Amino acid sequence: MDTIHFVIDKPQRWDSQFDPEMTEADVKRLMEIRPFSEMDQSKFSKRTPLSGILLNDARIRRFKNGEIIVRAGDYGSSAFLLLSGHARVVLNPGLPDKVLGRRNSKTKSLFQIVAQLWTNPRDQEVRSVEELDDNATLETVSQQKGVFLQDVPRILDEHKTATMSAGEFFGEIAALSRAARTSTIFAVGDETELLEIRWQGLRDLMRFDLHLRQHIDRIYRERTLATHLREIPIFQRLNDEQLKRVIEEAQFGTYGDYDWSGDYKRLAKEGTRSPEKEPVIAQEGDYPNGVVLIRSGFARLSRKFGHGHRTLNYLSAGCEFGLREIAHNWRQRTEAVSFQHSLRVIGYTHVIIVPTVVMEEVVLPSVKPEELPELFTPEELAGTTDSKTQQTLDAGAKIGPELMEFLTENRYFNGTSTMVLDLERCTRCDDCVRACAAANDNNPRFLRHGQINGRIMVANSCMHCADPVCLIGCPTGAIHRGQVGGEVIVNQATCVGCSICATNCPYEAIRMVEIRDKEGAFMVDKEMRPITKATKCGLCSDQIGGPACERACPHGALRRIDMNNLDAFARWLNR
Amino acid sequence: MKEQLPSPDFDRSRYERPNLNWECGWACDGCPCRIGPSPTGECRATAECRPVLVKNQGEEKGRWKCTRSKEHGGPCTDGPLPDGGCACPIPKCRPRRSLRNRRGRLCVAVAAITLVMLLIGFCGPWQWRFISAGPVSSQHHGVVFSQLKHAWPGSEGCGACHTAAQVNVSTERGDISKWLRAAFNSRPGPLEPHRLHQVTPGMMTEIDNNCLTCHSGHQFHQPNVTRDHSCSACHREHQGHGRMLPPADAECHSCHGSSSTMEASRRKGEQLPLSAFDFRSTNGATIFHTPRPVNGYTAVFNSFAENHPDFQIHQQKLKDPNSLIFNHALHLGESVNRAGQRLSCADCHAPDASGMHFQPITHAKHCQSCHALQFDARNPQMRIPHGDPANVRSYLRSLPTQYADLARRSGITAQADTEKFVAEQMRHLRERALNGEDLERQIFFAADPSKQLAPGMSVTSAGLSTRAQFAGCAYCHEVKPGGADGLPRVTPVSIPDRWLVRGEFNHAKHVIVSCSECHAAASSRATADIILPTKQSCTECHSPKGGVAQNCSTCHSFHTARGPQARQLIAR
Amino acid sequence: MKGFLRRRLLWSSLLLGASIAAVSAFVLWASTMSRAAFLTGWLLFGVMLLLTSYNWFKKIPYLPLGRSEVWLEFHLYAGVFTGVLFLLHVRGRWPTGWFELVLTLLYAVVMISGVLGIIISRGWPKRLTARGGEVPFERIPLIRRQIREQAEALALNSVAESKSATIAEFYTRRLHAFFRSPRNLLSHLVEIRLPLNSLLNDLNDLNRFLNESERKVAAKLVELVRQKDGLDYQLALQLSLRLWLFIHIPVTYSLMLWAIAHIVLVYGFSAGAR
């Protein structure tokens, strides 16, 4: 018997049920309820039948009165179907954090952290059997403690809520769009029963059932749009009727390819062409026909410069485009201006366009005059001076146009904690790699190498993207957003080593490793194939004090930078 | 930046692991195996895959299948060996330590070497020279010294001063455990750095007790000293070959610059009888007695040039009580000259053998050449003997004989001529004085130069200046009647040999300075004037501005029994 | 570099303040405090212990004990401060005994290696970045192998293709040794391009003996030579950026051990003397 191979069973997609307590009887019952009863079972694939999806990817949960089902801001990956009873959705503004009783993050205790000094394995990629068998991470329903709202009547009085009853879906937006939950939802009455479907199941259901797909599409538009618009300051003073008008007349646009697992890398590579070849959402010089609100994805904001285009910034979810022009035109009818910049899609963008007519008739009159964006001055229009608003917008000027192009071409703006190295300060000492290894069981989780632009290198470390592509396609949900701060982490216990996330990631941040046992022998399945797991930077979410790499650099050459706020980046560059 | 070389392409799907202690031995060749060495440095390479036996239905033996994964090349072309072994073994390597690991081992090795070197140094044959803080002064060096009280090995007598270095037998080596014990027994010890501030400067220590075994009697400074000062504080050893350096000013200032210490000394001095302070032996010299100031010598100061008190002679405005009447200004002035030249200081004040001070002033050596005590203007050879009044009386009463003697020496040989001569002189004398008593009285008590007994004779031949006048003994001395036998009482003259005894002054070192620069003799008319310089005049040179040494030890010594009058300090 | 300037000013003024305080305290009280040497000695030892602990701090990066950057800043300025303390401790005099001579030499080695170390740590990253060809240190042997295999293949194939062994013979004579192992490391440290230039010149001179297709091969070889040279440059500088610590750290341990022996000796043999 050689010491190199250690045989165990290879993990499968449905090895660990979402809820081990789901029984066939439950599934049978569900199949008789709408919408499952109306689904055409023949459309489902052999490997993922409807009953299988319900058995493995769904669970029944019971809530008491006031118990919180989902919290606004949580990163969750399940959708909910109300089976019986009622639930209330807290509309914006949501409940304060204190009321929601947020759970503690799962960091290691101080003793455990200090104990890493002697408990860290000395060999590479060692996994203990307890780690792999860790079903404790999936809490069973009976054991889970619920968190309750303290004073339900008061909340019902003070906050606007909407009621949901049996047969309604919710949470599908957050599950499918990889975004945070938009609202807090709690149960009313003690007999509330929900079916929680994790998003792998939901995705498959949508794929195979047209009705559900359309239905969810419609809810998505109705619900999300209202809350999303309410979040934007300019729409906050609209009453319900006005808001309804806006919703009705708003248009949707999806540019690029939503379903891009596996294709993203190709798209990203193709993106290294000049901006002119990217699809245009709005063109500089055109008549401003509506305010463009970016819902998800990224768009490039550029201006004509010489014979080309200069990128000023990239807009992400929550940004608006064209508001200033339209507000200017509404006030200065005689000196109307056109779009001052162009908006182009980078990869994939989902936008909502509110037409100018609606803006002028309904929205702008509701806004206080001093809260409107400032008018364009003639010098600005001539291009001789830049106003303050312009300067704040122009991130490209702060960090240098070359660096701006570099970031945009390589899609680095996606990152909320991109690892940036200042090569003129870095002595290549590898203290950062060693610190990362020390914090991750003696395994470094990034490679200190990557694309270089001048003196800036972006290392191959997970950037914890605002729009994480790696989450798409995971068959078991091992890769998910952590509860705190939105970092993306891989649950080693449930990862089956399919390497879809590693292939998806365009930044080569995820690496597949062959795991070993504590004697150093490779763990293999019965056919002697090595068991691999996906590994990546987890932003040291289970340690205290933040990412170890940043702290460990003796020369201040390494920083985890949020690319959505380039001011901090510019300040660091010019320190 | 565009001329940068592009980064080489390499497989980025593997991590780099600089945190591991061992790396595959093939890494330096560029092809490390994927298995990697064990954490203890053994090569674990075996083969590329582990073949698996596939038995289909109906088969007896089955086939061995290569299980090499896709990432590592997929199944090999040849397949496994018939016995189930893999046909592609991975060549074993000799794993190498990573740079970091090697650095750690180097640290351990260097620390070990250091410890070994320390042990060799401490326990080896040259242990004393190894740990010595520097060359020891010539007095404390050499075989003779090291064999003085104990038989130390070799020529290093470390144990004479350092208790930690004491060994019992001549062949016994110095013991590290003894040193460690001495270190931890010292107060404050190495684990008590916070107690360092409690140490009083100049405190007596164990080493000082060891000094006392040879150097007894060091303690004495002044009777009103409130505590002993440590020997080793002032006399620093290990500063180089040769003599030990004089003590630093800071040590003196540790008491004389501290108002609390000086105050305590002052109070103690008030309680002591004055005789306690009279401890200096004179060795026969005449010492000018400066009364001890009321507060003793307890002024607080810290610099010679700035606030060192002036000499008590000047502070107390003392006067020379010498009875001899002497006018420096006159003697150095124009009216006095010898051989056509005015007198200079050196004409009377001749340096003694050492050159430090001057020979005592005597009439015979210094005054007589001008003040020859001639009372007879006609016979200048007739000179009254200087000294005892009884001798003077004898001389005067035997004047005829003296004159006869003079006549004979002048060439008058015949008896009749001699008598004639004598009678002649005596007659002249009687013109001046009524009788012998009168003459005697005149000679003793006359002090008025205008009524001189022997008017000054001017001499024409070259070489002789105008003789000094002799009015009478009282011209220079204090003559009072009422002595024994009717003789006058001449107050004894006491010319002090030494004025400033608390410090040392060496005139030989000051030859470059002329006498009048320090001693204002040319303006001193009265004997009572003490024409010693003030401290201020010293500081003209002995100050930072003047550039000459101005340390305490330049003039003073802690051990008061020093100098020509000193007792032997080393008790052998 | 505003942030750096402010930071340097802050630390420099701190250092200046501490030095002035130490020197004034020494001048004012050293005469009265007979233990001045003891106090400066303990302070020196304490600061050196803090400096040594920087390496131990790096071994526990998961504990939030502050940023390594700040620790390094402290290390640099406190290191200079130990120089001041050392001069105060020995009163500006060169030691006369063997033991103290070794101690002084050890201290000097640590200090000088430290100063040189920070100079190259600040200066050489710029050189590495400007030259380009960035590669992680452990990958260098692999890339060297890749380049060598490519060059060998080129040389070998040229024999078959052009029926002449000129390139192959030149390869054996000049290039084989060049591609096989790290070369010209010392020249790279001092930015002497002479070895590279001479090799390239020789390759160029070879051109007159080559035909059209061979010239293409030679051009590719030139490219590979440049790559290999860039790799050697990376190796030279990255290796020295690691090797200077092989002097600084082990000698520090030696110094600390010697200093402890010094403390024992001083307490044992002074028993109160200065």
DSSP, residue by residue, A274-331: -GGGSPEEE-TTS---EEEEEEEEEEEEEEEETTEEEEEEEE-TT-EESHHHHHHHHH
Nearest to C245 among B28, B103, B239 (CB): B103
**Interface membership of B199 toward C (CB under 8 Å):** yes
- Specify the pLDDT at position B28: 81
A305 forms bridges with which residues in the sheet?
Answer: A308
Worst-scoring range by mean pLDDT, B378-387, C175-184, C221-230?
A: B378-387
Q: Tell me the mean pLDDT in the region B22-40.
A: 85
Cβ pair C241:A429 closer than 8 A:
yes
Name the H helices within A152-254. Answer: 152-158, 172-177, 199-208, 210-219, 225-231, 240-249
Backbone angles phi, psi at A93, to 5 degrees: -75, 145
Q: Which chains, if any, share at least 3 CB pairs under 8 A with chain A? A: B, C
| Assessment of whether the complete model's pTM goes beyond 0.80 | no
When comparing pLDDT for A178 and C116, which is higher?
Answer: C116
- Specify the pLDDT at position C136: 93
Most confident of A336-350, B293-307, C28-42, C253-267: C253-267
* Single-letter code of the amino acid located at B205: T
Is the pLDDT at B189 greater than 90? The verdict is no
Which of A365, A399, A433 represents a domain boundary (last residue)? A399
A198 and A226 share a domain? no
**Interface membership of B250 toward C (CB under 8 Å):** yes
Flag whether A85 is in a domain. Answer: yes
**Interface membership of B123 toward C (CB under 8 Å):** no
What are the DSSP calls for A377-425, one per residue? PHHHHHTS---HHHHHH-HHHHH-HHHHHHHHHTTGGGBSSEEEEETTT
Flag whether A487 is in a domain. Answer: yes
A16 and A81 share a domain? yes
Is the pLDDT at C104 greater than 90? The verdict is yes
Task: Identify the CATH number of the domain in which residue A440 sits.
Answer: 3.30.70.20
A357 and A436 share a domain? no
A177 and A282 share a domain? no
Is the bond into C95 cis (omega within 30 degrees of 0)? no
Measured CA to CA, the distance from residue B290 to residue B500 in angstroms comes to 9
Measured CA to CA, the distance from residue B266 to residue B298 in angstroms comes to 6
**Interface membership of B364 toward A (CB under 8 Å):** no
Name the H helices within B297-339. Answer: 304-307, 312-315, 328-332
Backbone angles phi, psi at A348, to 5 degrees: -145, 135
Flag whether A105 is in a domain. Answer: no
Which of A372, A399, A426 represents a domain boundary (last residue)? A399
> What angle, 0 to 180 degrees and rounded to 10, lies between the N-to-C axes of helices C36-57 and C68-89?
160
Residue from A4, A405, A523 to probe the interface with B (highest B Cβ count within 10 Å):
A4
Backbone angles phi, psi at A560, to 5 degrees: -95, 115
Flag whether A148 is in a domain. Answer: no
Mean pLDDT by 10 residues, chain A (575 residues): 67 70 82 79 80 84 82 68 87 61 58 85 84 45 46 70 82 66 80 82 79 73 71 79 81 58 49 60 87 83 82 81 88 84 80 87 84 80 72 76 84 88 94 93 93 92 84 70 71 82 87 89 83 91 88 94 85 86
Residues 487 through 526 of chain A touching chain B, CB cutoff 8 Å: 508, 511-513, 520, 522, 524
Nearest to A528 among B16, B20, B67 (CB): B67
Is the pLDDT at B538 greater than 60? The verdict is yes
Cβ pair C130:B1 closer than 8 A:
yes
- Specify the pLDDT at position A143: 35
A459 and A356 share a domain? no
Measured CA to CA, the distance from residue B159 to residue B161 in angstroms comes to 5
**Residue numbers in B near A528 (CB within 8 A):** 49-52, 67
Which of A363, A380, A399 represents a domain boundary (last residue)? A399
**Interface membership of C129 toward A (CB under 8 Å):** yes
Flag whether A149 is in a domain. Answer: no
Measured CA to CA, the distance from residue A252 to residue A354 in angstroms comes to 9
Which chain C residue has its CA at the smallest distance from A543's CA?
C62
Burial classification of residue B482, based on how many CB atoms lie within 10 Å of its CB (0-12 exposed, 13-18 middle, 19 or more buried): exposed
In 3D space, the residue among A19, A68, A74, A16 whose CA is nearest the CA of residue A195 turns out to be A19
Place of tokens 């090799």: C199
- Specify the pLDDT at position A135: 40
A352 and A495 share a domain? no
A447 and A342 share a domain? no
Nearest to A554 among C69, C124, C128 (CB): C69
Cβ pair A575:C4 closer than 8 A:
yes
Residue A232's domain comprises 220-399
Q: Tell me the mean pLDDT in the region B246-270.
A: 86
Number of domains within chain A = 3
Is the pLDDT at B19 greater than 50? The verdict is yes
| Phi-psi sector, C262: left (phi>0), alpha (psi -120 to 50), beta | alpha
Backbone angles phi, psi at A415, to 5 degrees: -80, 140
Place of tokens 């100049």: B202
Categorize the per-residue pLDDT at C81 as very low, low, confident or very high, splitting at 50, 70 and 90.
Answer: very high
The total number of residues shown for chain C amounts to 274
Task: Output the average pLDDT for chain C.
Answer: 90
**Residue numbers in A near B52 (CB within 8 A):** 527-528
A290 and A235 share a domain? yes
Asked whether A54 and A173 are in contact (CB, 8 A), the reply is: no
The total number of residues shown for chain A amounts to 575
**Residue numbers in C near A557 (CB within 8 A):** 125
Q: Tell me the mean pLDDT in the region B146-175.
A: 66
Is the pLDDT at B338 greater than 60? The verdict is yes
- Specify the pLDDT at position A210: 81
Flag whether A58 is in a domain. Answer: yes
In 3D space, the residue among A184, A174, A232 whose CA is nearest the CA of residue A352 turns out to be A232
Asked whether A541 and C56 are in contact (CB, 8 A), the reply is: no
- Specify the pLDDT at position A272: 47
A321 and A190 share a domain? no
When comparing pLDDT for A77 and B327, which is higher?
Answer: B327
Backbone angles phi, psi at B338, to 5 degrees: -130, 130
A191 and A228 share a domain? no
Is the pLDDT at B554 greater than 70? The verdict is yes
**Tens-digit pLDDT profile for residues B447-491:** 776 666 555 444 434 444 445 566 788 888 888 888 888 888 888
A249 and A286 share a domain? yes
A179 and A328 share a domain? no
Is the pLDDT at C211 greater than 60? The verdict is yes
Backbone angles phi, psi at B35, to 5 degrees: -80, -45
Q: How far is CA B558 from CA A188, B13, B218, B256, B304, in A?
A: 100, 83, 9, 12, 16
